[in-house]
Structure formats: structure tokens, C-alpha cells
RNA sequence: GGGGGAUUAGCUCAGUUGGCUAGAGCGCUAGAUUUGCAUUCUAGAGGUCAUCGGUUCGACUCCGAUAUUCUCCA
């Protein structure tokens, strides 16, 4: 039975469309979702809210082209402030990846319009019963000097009776971006999704902001009007903004009259495919015992998260965002492995279905579907292997009184990647339990260690003069002699202060698009300040320095280290040529998956399903070198409208965020044309020589090439040449070095064998003599003498052979190697037992005569020393022992 | 970025507190069995114990560095 008065017939796709259309009608520009992987903001691994891509507008670093914007944004909440990962699957509403519908005003409309439109969209366009809607507004905070948000309340009173407008506290109704930065009061819209009977029993008003109560928050309208400083105080912003966010999945749930997002048409196709492939039926239960149902939700959710992040270019890895992707994927594996009885790669089989469902709205999925499936399958395989190893390690774990040591469980988890919940599960199966406290202690210790290391405190920006938008002039100039510092701040890293400086205009290229930041100097009123790196936070170029200028408001001469920049530019151009060459040699599928351009080398990752052959790599290298020799001039076009760029067929990448106008870098229109913000050389000839250093596999379906150009390449080749020349010299100027070395190796092998034979023969002769020297003492065959063999292994062999022939024997051999004395003692096993002789003990004792020590087992021991003069005494002493 | 582990034959791995002539299974080569194949049996080849340095009479084993790799945390 539908739980709402109405049930919308709209599909998820139609609901999304309705939202965007509505705001388009209100004069909003509809923009595409930015990538789910956040590459521009070091404080954020993933996009976790719709406003992320507009952060610069709120911070005043940039002015927007349109003051009204709306979109649907792919978001992920798995780390930091919002972490929903462990809740996914347990209930019907939490997700790692979700879509956030949002509309924004940048210094344009404010509370009146925002609230009015929210109301109209929900009630008129989407048809939600007005009777079921509640709103909350900020109650005010006297300690902050922020009054109650009566403005918002006044607007709401136009649509809602007073009893359905609630006051909320700072936690629910005051929104902050982070510790510092833009913030303000917000108004939340809640919808009562309960049945009529339940509504009659309990007033919905009492259930607002209570989890799982049936009254759910669907939309938050934030009114940004303050800026939070590092000391905790608030200041008014010059311009006021609106930032809203409405969870798409939740909206669909309400409109379609469902109790869980998993029951909407966003998820039902995924769940039914999981049913089909796993053989389990989805019961939709949230009971703790309904493990399979939970597992299916986990798999459905994580599948989306993993597929979308990979589509946006984030591969699973062991650091940063990639590690988060890996963790999500592994959580899915854990659940299907434990609760769906699936023991082989499974997620990747769901990709074609996912692409069918979502590929139209998100083309990045459709176009890379094979690749995504391949990568996921590879990850699944390797984790299943890890699980396998962990299982056998678990079997070796000892349990005291049925309790598995916490430290041991932690080691299994930390070092071998075996999930703690699996350890728990396995322990339970054997009627054991895990020492949870011990585990938690160990985990906390590790977290503290990592945090202590990463300790970093960021101070407020301190404005110097006017806060104007920073202009990058580094494409055309390497020096600016009339720059000014606009602001700076102190960043403390591991107790050491460092400073970040922003200029009004700068030739410094901040690290972005895989290209390393510039180095150089800032000269402020004659004082030279080295810039050791340049970074970018969103669109802000930040110069990293170790000290601040004496006069921060002075005139700045900003000078980029030209040699370093040139070498970096050469390698960036090389990356473009390599990219194009890979397309030509391997095919169009070989697209860039990441790059790291530095002054010493370029590292280029691309998609390709198999190891390129040596011939293919050679052809790639040859082709790039051919393009270098052609000395192709750079064609740089700035401010090209994005539509025109698309039209031109220039290379664009998934997971990159492109603005309205872009820059196109072309080297031979027939060969290489890419959207790119990096720096390049004016002619390809400047690269001189291109040399591939290595080719390796990075993940399933991803290869990595490292290469060098210019001086670095030349140095490399020269180095190799020098070695070759030297080698040839050593080989008496051999014409064929390879053949010479091979024959040397061969000869060496034969000589070794021959030497061994000779040694054996020598020992054989000696053996004959020694056999003659056998004395019988106390009924034991004794040999105790010096031999003229230096090699320990040979003596060992000989002694073993002697023993074999004599039967019961006590054999003590003295020898010298490089003037160092050595003793070898062998006592037949029977004698060690019947006469209680211990070769190790004896040899330790008699080794004193040669000023040495030794040891071994009862039947064989060796000793060495420093005084060869005592050898005879040692042998005599040894004899006494029989 | 910080911790922990691993690196031994072509492959997968054993190797107990430093001292047995460093092993197993699979694979490889040869022979035997068999009409042939599979099977089985026998013999054999194959190792700078990742690299470099240190401690020690002696290091696969202990210590340090490097490389590669797995894993956890940030």
C-alpha cells in the first residue's frame, strides 16, 4: 500500500529531469556534474556535496559567469566529516555514492526566492501533499551573535502554518563548510512519509530530526552570509549566497511511495540482477539476521560507488582516494563472500546491467564499461587471494581459553589485510571470540601514529592590500616585476612553519593536470625568497616559501626557475606526443589515465588490456622521435568555447573538470590535439630525443610508461654508452659484446664445475691417506690431523665421506684459510648417544686454543679462530675427549 | 606521508633458538612402463637464498640501508 496520499508515476529519470527543468525556467544555468573524484581541492578526496565545485565563488577567489546555477552532482560520502560507509546496507537510506540535486545563487537571490521555489517545486511540480511538509529554521545563537532566522520564517509562513515551522539548533540549522570559511543558517524541508493511521497516532511535528521516524529530511537550503575565521569568530560576507542540496535517491523514494531508496527504480534493476547471479532472493528485510538482504544492498550500493569513481579516473590503489575506492570494493567482496556464498569475482559481472540503467545519464560509464569491468575484476581477484591467505593464517592463530588475542587479530588485519569482521565470523564458527579491546587499542595506536605524522595546522589568510583575483601570466612570461602579495598564511607542518603566498599576478605554474609546480624566487624589496614549490587550491595559485618577506606589502619580482620550467615543459609536450603515438600504434582505446610530469621524467598511465610488445613500444618511441625531428610548432588556442573544442575533436578526458572555455594544445592537427592547462615548448624539436625508460602494469587494464626527453634522455643514453664502451674495453674491444659475455659466463660455469671436480679429487686422495692414519682410542676410530685444504665446503664433504666409510668415527680436521685457523669435527650419531659426546660442545672448548669460538650440532660442528699457532694444541685437546 | 609484513628452483611455497652438503609439490629433460595417449615409476638438470653493507669463528636465519611488492592507517 502506498504510504503517501499520492504516489508519483514518475521514474527516477523523469524526476531528475523535472528538477533541472524547473530551475532552468527560473533563469538558472544547468551545469554538468563535476567529477566525483576531487582533484583540485587538497582538503577533499571526493566530491561530497553539490557546492564543492563552486567553493571558489563562495570564497571570493573567482567570480561566476552565471549568478544562478543548478545541477545534479555525483557525490560520495566515505571519509572525513561525512562518513556513511559502515551504515550502508544496515538501513534503507544510507549510500556511499549518491546524486545531489542543487540550485545556487551567487550574490543573487536569497531567502525569499529560494524558499518559494522549493515549495513550488515540491508541491506543484512534484505533487507532494502540502500537509505532509515541515520546515525548520535556525533558532539563533547568542554566543555567536547570530539572531534567530526570522527572515526565513516569514517566508515559510506564506505556505505553512506556524506549527509546522520548527526551530532548530546549531547542529541542524547552521551550516559550515569546514573549520573555517563561508557559513550561515539553513532551513531544512522534511516530509512525513508515514501511513495515515500512524500520522493520526503521532504528530509528525514531534518526529522531525529523529532518525528512522518516517519523517525524513529531503532538502536543505543554506543561506551563506558569514565567514568563520580560525579564531572562531564570524564576519559578514560582502555578498550573500544560496546553496541547496536535495538527495536524489531519497526524493525518488518519497515520490514513489517507498520505504527505502533500495526499493526505487534506481536500485531494483541492480538488486534483481544480483538475485539472478547469486541465486539468493532479495527479501527487503532489515533484521540483523537477514544477512543476505543486507549483503545485496551493500553490493548494490558499492557497485555504483566503485564504477563511478573508476569512470572518473580514480583507480583503486593503496593511498589517498584510490585507497578509499579499494576499501569500498573490498567491503562489497566481504559481504558477498560471507553472506551470498559467492567465492569468485562477482561485481564486475554487474557492470553491463549498470551501464544499461545509468549509461544514458552518465556517458562516462558507457564509454569505459569494458575497462571498468576489467579493473574491478582484477581487484576482486587479488582481494579474494588475500582472503585465501588470511584464512590459512587464521587457522594458525592460537586461542587462549577460546579468546583470540587482539594484537594477533590486528596483525592479521593490519599486515595481511584480513578484515576484522571476517576474523570475528570465523571465530564464532569455532565457538571462539576475539579480544575486541586489544584490537581497538592496537588500531587506535596506529591511527595516532599516522595522525601525529600528518599533523598540520593551517592559519587564516592574512590580506595584504586589496584582495583581487589572481592572474596567471606564466604561459607568456617567466618573470613579473610588478607583482604584489594579496594574501598569505602560515601552515605548520610537523612543527615547522611554512608559508603560503598568493600574488595578484604570477608567472608560477601551480601543480595541476599532472604537471609539477614551478620553483623560483620572489624578490620583495631586494630580499630574495626562494619558492620551493607552487601548488593550486581550486583555482588559487599558492607559492610555498620557508620564510616571509620583511615587507609583505612591497613590490614583488616573481621569477620562475627557467631551466626547471623548460625541462618540465619538454616532458609535458612529450606526454602529448606519447599519447598520440599510443593512439596510432595501439589504438584509440589507449587513453590517458593519469600522468606525472616533472623536469626529470614523465610518467604516463593509459588504458590497454595487454602488455605492449617490444616492437609496439619501439614503434611508439620511433613515432615520437619522428615528430620531434619534424620540429612541429606549437599551436596554442586559449579561451575556446567548450562546445567548439568538442566539435574540433580535441582529446578530452573523463574525470577532468572543464570550464566553459578551454585551452587547446596542438602539435600537428593531424596528430596531437588536447585540452590542456599545462606548459609546453614552442617547437617539438626542443625535446631533442625521446627515450622510453620502462613499461609496466599498474592495474588490470592499465599500463604505465616512464620516459625522458631532452638533456635527461641524452644523459641516460650517454650513461648507457659509457658502460658499453667500458665493457668493450674490458673485453679487449670485442666486436660482439653480448656474445663475449655469454661465452665468458659459459666458461665460468665450466671452470666452476671442473674446480669442484678437482677439489673432490684432492679430497679423495687425502681421504685415502687419512684412512691410513686412523687410530683406535677407547674402541673408537679416530682421525685427528691437519689438512692442506682451505675450502670449508670441501672439508665438510670429505669428512662426511670419511665417516660413511669408517662407520663409528670421531673425525677432527684442522685447516687454514688466509692465515685463519679452522676446525671441523664430526662424530658419528651412534657415538654421540652411546658415549654422550657433543661435537658442538667439544669444539667450543678446544677452539680456545686458536682464540676462537664455534658450535654446531652434536654430530657435526665447526669453529674458527685468530691464532693458527694453536691448531696442533687444539687437535691434541680434541683427541683427549674421546 | 607514517607503521607492519614479504622477497629461497621456471611456478606455488617449507626451512624450528645463527651451525644438518638449502628442501617439497607442480613444471622441465631423459629413461622405463604403454600399440599410442593419459597414468605410474626411476634418474637428472635447475638456486649469487632480492641487492649492498654490518655483527659473528660461522648468516637463508640477527642488525642497517636500498629496491620491489603486499597490507593497514592518515
What percent of chain A has pLDDT above 90? Answer: 45
Question: Does residue A748 form part of some domain?
Answer: no
Q: Which of A537, A560, A583 is the last residue of a domain?
A: A560
> A864 versus A835: which is more confidently predicted?
A864
Residue A169 near residue A259 (C-beta atoms within 8 A)? no
Question: Does residue A3 form part of some domain?
Answer: no
pLDDT value at A670 more than 80: yes
pLDDT value at A850 more than 70: yes
Q: Are residues A546 and A614 in the same domain?
A: no
Residue A522 near residue A549 (C-beta atoms within 8 A)? yes
Bridge partners (DSSP) of residue A187 are A221
Q: From the DSSP assignment, how many helices (H) and strands (E) are in chain A? A: 25, 37
Whether the CB of A383 is less than 7 Å away from nucleic strand B comes out as yes
Q: Are residues A402 and A436 in the same domain?
A: yes
Question: Does residue A334 form part of some domain?
Answer: yes
Q: Are residues A799 and A849 in the same domain?
A: yes
Which whole number is the average pLDDT over A104-110? Answer: 95
Domain count, chain A: 6
Q: Report the CATH number at residue A57.
A: 3.30.930.10
Q: Which of residues 699-728 of A touch strand B (CB under 7 A)?
A: none
Q: Are residues A544 and A449 in the same domain?
A: no
Nucleotide nearest to A455 (CA to C1'): B74
Q: Which residue has the cell 584480513?
A: A418
> A462 versus A828: which is more confidently predicted?
A462
Q: Which nucleotides of B are covered by protein (CB under 7 A)?
A: 1-5, 13, 19-21, 56-58, 69-74
pLDDT of residue A79: 66
Whether the CB of A841 is less than 7 Å away from nucleic strand B comes out as no
> A521 versus A693: which is more confidently predicted?
A521
Q: Are residues A500 and A426 in the same domain?
A: no
Whether the CB of A454 is less than 7 Å away from nucleic strand B comes out as yes
* pLDDT grade for A753, boundaries at 50, 70 and 90: low
Whether the CB of A855 is less than 7 Å away from nucleic strand B comes out as yes
Q: Are residues A622 and A685 in the same domain?
A: yes
Question: Does residue A524 form part of some domain?
Answer: yes
The full 3-state SS of A128-192, as one line of letters, equals CCHHHEEEEEECCEHHHCECCCHHHHHHHHCCCCHHHEEEECHHHHEEECCCCEEEEEEEEEEEE
Whether the CB of A853 is less than 7 Å away from nucleic strand B comes out as yes
pLDDT value at A230 more than 60: yes
Which whole number is the average pLDDT over A9-27? Answer: 93
Nucleotide nearest to A753 (CA to C1'): B45
Bridge partners (DSSP) of residue A221 are A187, A244
CA A794 to C1' B21, in angstroms, rounded, equals: 10
Instruction: Average the pLDDT over each of A437-451, A507-521, A790-804, A862-876 and give the range with the smallest value.
Output: A790-804
Residue A517 near residue A492 (C-beta atoms within 8 A)? no
Nucleotide nearest to A416 (CA to C1'): B71
Q: Are residues A550 and A605 in the same domain?
A: no
pLDDT value at A4 more than 60: no
Nucleotide nearest to A866 (CA to C1'): B57
Q: Are residues A549 and A601 in the same domain?
A: no
**Phi/psi at A270 (nearest 5 deg)?**
-70, -45
Question: Does residue A231 form part of some domain?
Answer: yes
What percent of chain A has pLDDT above 70? Answer: 97
Q: Which of A540, A560, A580 is the last residue of a domain?
A: A560
Instruction: Average the pLDDT over each of A473-482, A657-666, A743-752 and give the range with the smallest value.
Output: A743-752
pLDDT value at A752 more than 80: no
pLDDT of residue A222: 96
Cell triple for residue A610?
595487454
pLDDT of residue A1: 36
Question: Does residue A684 form part of some domain?
Answer: yes
Question: Does residue A533 form part of some domain?
Answer: yes
Whether the CB of A393 is less than 7 Å away from nucleic strand B comes out as no
Residue A307 near residue A376 (C-beta atoms within 8 A)? yes
> Whole domain around residue A320: which residue ranges?
267-392
Q: Which regions of A248-325 does DSSP assign to beta strands (E)?
A: none
Q: Are residues A46 and A191 in the same domain?
A: yes
Q: Are residues A790 and A856 in the same domain?
A: yes
Nucleotide nearest to A804 (CA to C1'): B21
The DSSP code for A49 is S
pLDDT value at A835 more than 80: no
Maximum mean pLDDT: which of A311-320, A394-403, A716-725: A311-320
CA dihedral sign of residues A735, A738, A742, A745: positive
Q: Which of residues 602-661 of A touch strand B (CB under 7 A)?
A: none
- Quote the mean pLDDT of chain A: 88
Q: Which of A251, A266, A281 is the last residue of a domain?
A: A266
* pLDDT grade for A6, boundaries at 50, 70 and 90: low
Question: Does residue A747 form part of some domain?
Answer: no
CA A367 to C1' B68, in angstroms, rounded, equals: 34
Crossing angle of helices A369-396/A351-358, nearest 10°?
140
Q: Which residue has the cell 650517454?
A: A718
Which whole number is the average pLDDT over A604-629? Answer: 89
Q: Are residues A679 and A595 in the same domain?
A: yes
Q: Are residues A490 and A522 in the same domain?
A: yes
Amino acid at each position: 500500500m502506498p504510504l503517501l496520499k499520492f504516489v508519483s508515476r514518475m521514474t527516477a529519470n523523469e524526476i531528475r529531469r523535472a528538477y533541472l527543468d524547473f530551475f532552468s525556467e527560473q533563469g538558472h544555468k544547468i551545469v554538468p556534474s563535476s567529477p566525483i573524484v576531487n582533484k583540485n581541492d587538497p582538503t577533499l578526496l571526493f566530491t561530497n556535496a553539490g557546492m564543492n565545485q563552486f567553493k571558489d565563488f563562495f570564497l571570493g577567489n573567482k567570480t561566476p559567469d552565471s549568478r544562478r546555477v543548478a545541477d545534479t552532482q555525483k557525490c560520495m560520502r566515505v571519509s572525513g566529516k561525512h562518513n556513511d560507509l559502515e551504515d550502508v546496507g544496515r538501513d534503507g537510506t544510507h549510500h556511499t555514492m549518491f546524486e545531489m540535486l542543487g540550485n545556487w545563487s551567487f550574490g543573487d537571490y536569497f531567502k525569499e526566492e529560494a524558499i518559494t521555489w522549493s515549495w513550488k517545486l515540491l508541491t506543484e511540480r512534484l505533487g507532494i501533499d502540502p500537509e505532509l511538509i515541515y520546515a525548520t529554521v535556525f533558532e539563533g545563537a547568542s554566543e555567536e551573535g547570530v539572531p534567530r532566522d526570522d527572515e526565513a520564517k516569514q517566508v515559510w509562513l506564506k505556505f505553512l502554518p506556524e506549527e509546522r515551522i520548527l526551530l532548530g539548533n546549531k547542529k541542524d540549522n547552521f551550516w559550515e563548510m569546514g573549520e573555517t570559511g563561508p557559513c550561515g543558517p539553513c532551513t531544512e524541508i522534511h516530509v512525513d512519509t508515514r501511513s495515515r493511521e500512524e500520522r493520526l497516532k503521532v504528530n509528525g511535528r514531534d518526529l522531525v530530526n529523529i532518525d528512522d521516524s518516517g519523517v525524513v529530511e529531503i532538502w536543505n537550503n543554506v543561506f551563506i552570509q558569514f565567514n568563520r575565521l580560525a579564531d572562531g569568530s564570524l564576519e559578514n560576507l560582502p555578498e550573500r549566497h544560496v546553496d541547496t542540496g536535495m538527495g536524489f535517491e531519497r526524493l525518488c523514494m518519497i515520490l514513489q511511495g517507498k520505504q527505502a531508496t533500495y526499493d526505487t527504480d534506481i536500485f531494483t534493476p541492480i538488486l534483481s540482477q544480483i538475485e539472478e547471479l547469486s541465486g539468493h532472493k532479495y527479501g527487503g528485510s532489515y533484521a540483523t539476521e537477514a544477512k543476505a538482504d543486507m549483503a545485496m544492498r551493500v553490493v548494490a550500493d558499492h557497485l555504483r560507488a566503485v564504477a563511478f569513481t573508476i569512470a572518473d579516473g580514480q583507480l583503486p590503489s593503496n593511498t589517498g582516494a584510490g585507497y578509499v575506492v579499494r576499501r569500498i570494493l573490498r567491503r562489497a567482496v566481504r559481504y558477498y563472500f560471507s553472506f551470498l556464498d559467492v567465492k569468485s569475482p562477482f561485481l564486475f559481472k554487474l557492470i553491463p546491467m549498470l551501464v544499461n540503467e545509468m549509461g544514458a545519464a552518465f556517458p562516462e560509464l558507457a564509454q569505459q564499461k569494458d575497462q571498468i569491468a576489467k579493473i574491478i575484476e582484477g581487484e576482486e581477484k587479488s582481494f579474494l587471494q588475500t582472503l585465501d591467505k588470511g584464512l590459512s593464517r587464521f587457522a594458525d592463530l592460537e586461542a587462549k581459553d577460546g579468546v583470540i588475542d587482539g594484537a594477533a587479530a590486528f596483525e592479521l588485519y593490519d599486515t595481511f589485510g584480513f578484515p576484522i569482521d571476517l576474523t570475528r565470523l570465523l571465530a564464532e564458527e569455532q565457538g571462539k571470540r576475539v579480544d575486541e579491546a586489544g584490537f581497538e587499542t592496537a588500531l587506535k595506536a596506529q591511527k595516532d601514529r599516522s595522525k601525529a605524522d600528518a599533523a598540520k595546522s593551517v592559519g587564516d589568510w592574512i590580506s595584504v592590500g586589496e584582495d583581487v583575483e589572481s592572474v596567471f601570466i606564466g604561459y607568456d612570461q617567466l618573470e613579473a616585476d610588478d607583482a604584489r602579495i594579496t594574501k598569505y598564511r602560515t601552515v605548520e607542518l610537523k612543527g615547522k612553519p611554512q608559508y603560503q603566498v598568493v600574488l595578484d599576478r604570477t608567472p608560477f605554474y601551480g601543480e595541476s593536470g599532472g604537471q609539477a609546480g614551478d620553483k623560483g624566487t620572489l624578490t620583495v624589496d631586494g630580499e630574495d625568497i626562494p619558492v620551493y614549490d607552487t601548488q593550486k587550491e581550486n583555482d588559487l595559485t599558492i607559492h610555498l616559501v620557508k620564510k616571509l618577506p620583511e615587507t609583505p606589502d612591497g613590490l614583488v619580482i616573481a621569477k620562475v626557475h627557467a631551466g626547471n620550467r623548460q625541462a618540465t615543459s619538454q616532458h609535458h609536450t612529450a606526454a602529448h606526443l606519447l599519447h598520440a603515438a599510443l593512439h596510432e600504434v595501439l589504438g584509440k582505446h589507449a587513453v590517458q589515465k593519469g600522468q606525472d610530469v616533472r623536469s626529470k621524467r614523465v610518467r604516463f598511465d593509459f588504458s590497454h588490456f595487454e602488455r605492449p610488445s617490444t616492437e609496439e613500444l619501439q614503434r611508439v618511441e620511433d613515432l615520437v622521435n619522428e615528430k620531434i625531428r619534424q620540429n612541429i610548432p606549437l599551436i596554442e588556442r586559449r579561451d575556446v568555447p567548450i562546445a567548439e573544442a568538442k566539435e574540433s575533436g580535441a582529446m578530452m578526458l573523463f574525470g577532468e573538470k572543464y570550464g566553459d572555455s578551454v585551452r587547446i594544445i596542438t602539435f600537428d592537427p593531424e596528430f596531437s590535439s588536447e585540452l590542456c592547462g599545462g606548459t609546453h615548448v614552442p617547437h617539438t624539436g626542443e625535446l631533442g630525443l625521446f627515450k622510453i625508460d620502462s613499461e609496466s602494469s599498474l592495474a588490470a587494464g592499465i599500463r604505465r610508461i616512464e620516459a625522458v626527453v631532452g638533456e635527461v634522455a641524452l644523459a641516460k643514453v650517454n650513461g648507457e654508452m659509457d658502460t658499453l664502451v667500458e665493457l668493450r674495453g674490458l673485453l679487449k674491444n670485442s666486436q660482439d659484446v653480448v656474445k663475449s659475455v655469454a661465452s665468458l659466463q659459459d666458461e665460468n660455469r665450466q671452470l666452476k664445475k671442473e674446480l669442484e671436480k678437482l677439489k673432490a679429487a684432492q679430497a679423495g686422495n687425502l681421504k685415502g691417506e687419512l684412512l691410513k692414519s686412523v687410530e683406535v682410542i677407547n674402541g673408537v676410530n679416530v682421525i685427528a690431523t691437519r689438512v692442506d685444504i682451505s675450502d670449508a665446503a670441501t672439508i665438510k664433504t670429505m669428512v662426511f665421506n670419511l665417516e660413511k666409510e669408517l662407520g663409528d668415527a670421531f673425525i677432527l680436521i684442522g685447516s687454514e684459510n688466509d692465515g685463519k685457523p679452522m676446525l671441523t669435527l664430526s662424530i658419528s650419531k651412534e657415538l654421540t648417544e652411546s658415549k654422550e659426546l657433543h661435537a658442538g660442545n667439544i669444539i667450543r672448548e678446544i677452539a680456545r686454543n686458536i682464540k676462537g669460538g664455534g658450535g654446531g650440532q652434536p654430530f657435526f660442528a665447526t669453529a674458527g679462530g685468530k691464532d693458527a699457532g694453536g691448531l696442533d694444541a687444539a687437535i691434541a685437546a680434541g683427541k683427549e675427549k674421546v
